[in-house]
Structures are given as C-alpha cells and as structure tokens.
Amino acid sequence: MYQVKSTTALNNTLYGYYFFALCTVSLAAGVVSTLYIFFDGQQGYKLLPFLPFSYLFSLLINKTRIVTETPNIGIFIYYSISLLRLVILPLLYIIYGYYEVIEYNSVSNTPKAILLMAYETIAIAISLNVSIRNTEKISVKLSQPYKATVYKRLSVITFALILVGLILNHITPEVLQSYTTIFDMIKTGKIPPEQNYLVRKYGVNFVKKLSLVSSNYLFKILKLLIPMCLVTVLQRKEGVLRKSLAILVCLLPFLYVSGSIAVSFHYLFLIASLFIVIQGKRPDVIFKPLIIAMITIMLYLVIRVSISSNENTGAMIRTINAYFSGVNIVSGSFNLEGGLPLRLHYFLCDIFGSIPFSGTLFGIDGMTINEYFCYSNECSGQIAPTIGLGCYYFSPILAPLYSVFFIKLSETFGKRFYSEENSHLRVIYVAISYYSALAVVAYNIEIVLGIFCQVILPIYIVFFLCYKNIKTEKNNEIHLFETGCTEGRKNYAK
C-alpha cells in the first residue's frame, strides 16, 4: 500500500513551482501585451491582452485544483497547452508580427474570436472551481503480477489482429502508402497521403474499398496495441534486458508515422504510461517528464525566436497558431455559414461520423466539418476549433458547452486513474483524460470522438477479453472486468 502524495506546499513542490511559473509568465505577457497594444496595436488585435489575463484568472481561482490536490493529467495538459495558446502565441504576435494562417475577414472576426476564447477560458475555470471538494488522500494498492492467462490472452488476440492486418494488406497493399518512418519524413520532408485520399483513389470496387477502410481502422488500433502488448509481456519477469527492451518498444509508434506526426507522440506517452504503472511506480511519476517537456518547449521557443530570421519566426508562429487553435484559427469559425438544417447536419455528422463504417451505416457523405471549415476560409489542412464549433452549433452564449463537457470528462477520468488498480485500465483512463483535454486546446469533437470510437474503445474491449472471468482476491474487491459493478472500487477508494 502507498499513498499518493498531496502537494500541499506551494513553495516546495515541483507542481507548486510549475504553477508559480505559469502565473508569472501569464502576468508578464498580459502587462507587455497591454503596453504594446496601447502604443502600437494592429487593427483587429487590440483586445489580445484579454487572453493572457483570462488565463491568469483561470489559474488563480483554481490554485487548489492545480497545486494542493493530487495532480490530474487532463487538467495538467489543458493548462500547459493553453499557456502556448493564450499566453505565448499572443506575445509572439505582438512582438514579432501578426502572421496569419487565415486571412479571410480576419480584421472583423479577430476581436470576436479573442472575446470568445476569453469567455471559454473563464467558463472552464468556473466549471473546474465549482467541482472542488475537500477530499481525503486516496490510498492505492499497487498491482500484483498479472496472471499468465492475461498475458496469453493479450498475446493471442494481438497476434490474431496482426494476421487479419496481413490479409488486408495483401488485398490492398496501397494502404501502407499512408505511413512512413520518422527518418524518411525528416529526410524527405514529405507527409504521407491521408487514408481518405487512398480510399478514393484505389477503392475501385467494393472489396478493395472495404479492405482499405478496414485496414485503416485496424492499423490505428495495432499501432498502439502491439507496443502495449510487448511492454506487458516483457515486464512479466524482472530483468534489466527486459526493461531496456520495453523502453525501446515505447518508440515503436515512430516506425510507422501517419500524416500527423503528433499521433506518434501521443501514442508514445500512452505506452510510456503503461510502462510506468506496470513497473509499480507512483502514478504521478508520469507528470515529471511532462513538466520537463513543457519547460524544454518554452526554452526552445525562446532560443528559436532569438536566433531565427523573420521568415522562420513567421513560420513558427503560424505553426503554433494552427496546431493549438490560436486566435486566428478561431476567427475562421465566424466565416462558417448556413442555417439550422446545415448546422444540424454537421452536428450529427460529428457524432455519428466517428463510428467505424459510418458512411455505410448512416449514409454519411460529403464534406466533413473540417473540410467545410477550410472551404469557408479559403485555406487547407486546418481543424475547426472546439470553441468555434460550439459557437456555430449552439450560439455565442452557449459556445463553451463542448469545452466544459470535455474538461469535466478529462477531470473525471484523471481522478479515476488513481483509484484504479488494473494497469491496463489505468492507461485507458489516462487516454480518455488526455484526449479530452486536447479536444479543447488542439483537436475538436469530430477528431476526439473518432479516437474514442476507433482506437480507445477497441483496445478497451481487448483488455476486457483478457481479464474476463479472472477473479481477484485482494480486499474482497469486485473487479470491473468481472461484473461491471463499481461498488467494490468505491469501498476500495475510501
């Protein structure tokens, strides 16, 4: 038995120092941006100081949530990436120039986008603050070595899925064109084509199209499941060699990189999380490399900006703006047009389009909301931001509904991570919490629901089959995989 450490002292914990750094940077950015805007503000961007100050407000009213409670992976990811989105990016805009990805109607839409983002930040902050409760420290018992049956089942299911993948690849080898290695991507600088493009190009008949679509769904699962299986099996017994191989296995997602290299980094984090919890480490150990990573990114941005030319700086600003739904991307949401029927159409497509084979099952065809967003803004490759879609679907007043929902979902599963004993189920909780936070600051409902339905749910089903009918005798706990009953865990968490 061990206790998860509660970070109760602001001045002597890593989380406290991180919180203090976030507050300092956001306050400085707010003051500097206010001064710059006062003397030399570009038309459309004079409200930019609202963003760092709204972020600072969110930090201060949720100090207890961030510092004095057990760290929550979803809340940590949200505040860390929001620092880039709401603080660093506006500062780069003001100091180095307003490098925009979307130029269509940007002057008139940008002030509305700034106010909408500040409104979203405050709404999320209040929703988090309301849910704070004075709870006791959680005691969690470390997992015992898994029984041989679990290892065998996981290996057999993974091997069977690999065989299915090989058969599909034999039917349509073209599917591999959408993957490359990280080395080839760096060497050539080329991004592999999207699966939708391959389906349209090579799906000349029903069999080929079915094989291409099925391969796409299956390979998404295997890219994460194979490393998880190897990490699990390698750590069945102690040994330096086994542990070293397990660490190398965490890097497997970079062996086949899809059009979005960020997916490989996400998978690396999830596989590394499984490695840590199977090792029996404290669950909150996963936060330390994340904090180091965020500090490294901040230092990299400072160094990159200080030594790069205006052209390179502009490219970096555009990249941050595009990847993290900056104010310029949010401004593009106001270019979305259409009455209630069209909005309802895209709203339903976001939800049902995430289900595998949705085109056949629900007859969904035509542009996705991201494609419509790019069409409306005369751009390409951009993601419609969550807060922008909330405004488009629900009106400006109810715009933060999606954002608040995902943050609460992220917070909930971030808490369950600590009260769960099963290592594999813990990683499922981490994944849900992690991607729910990204839904607010980087992705949107179409992408995140797609990940939930096409990757996380299938892997959960695999784990369910691995643990089905395997009883545990620790503390008379009723295991989730046996009965679906949570009563045992409620008593256990107390």
Contacts 24+ apart (CB under 8 A), 168-177: 168/211, 168/214, 168/215, 168/218, 169/215, 171/207, 171/208, 171/211, 172/202, 172/208, 172/211, 172/212, 172/215, 174/198, 174/201, 174/202, 174/212, 175/211, 175/212, 175/215, 175/216, 175/219
Predicted structure pTM score = 0.83
> Token pair of 444, please?
């949107």
Residues 6+ positions from 169 with CB-CB distance below 8 Å: 175, 176, 215
What is the pLDDT at residue 481? Answer: 39
Provide the 10 A C-beta neighbour count for residue 54. Answer: 25
What is the pLDDT at residue 10? Answer: 38
What is the pLDDT at residue 214? Answer: 84
Continuous H helices in 308-422: 310-323, 327-331, 340-352, 358-362, 369-377, 386-394, 401-419
What is the pLDDT at residue 397? Answer: 93
Q: Is 257 helix (H, G, I), strand (E, B) or coil?
A: strand
Quote the distance between the C-alpha of residue 323 and its chain's center.
Answer: 12
Question: Distance (Å, rounded) from C-alpha 269 to C-alpha 297?
Answer: 16
Sites in the chain below the pLDDT cut of 70? 1-15, 40-41, 67-70, 131-147, 182-183, 185-199, 202-204, 237, 259-260, 280-311, 358-366, 469-494
Strands 139-140 and 2-3: antiparallel
Residues 6+ positions from 354 with CB-CB distance below 8 Å: 446, 449, 450, 452, 453, 454
Q: Cα(first)–Cα(last) distance of the chain, in Å?
A: 13
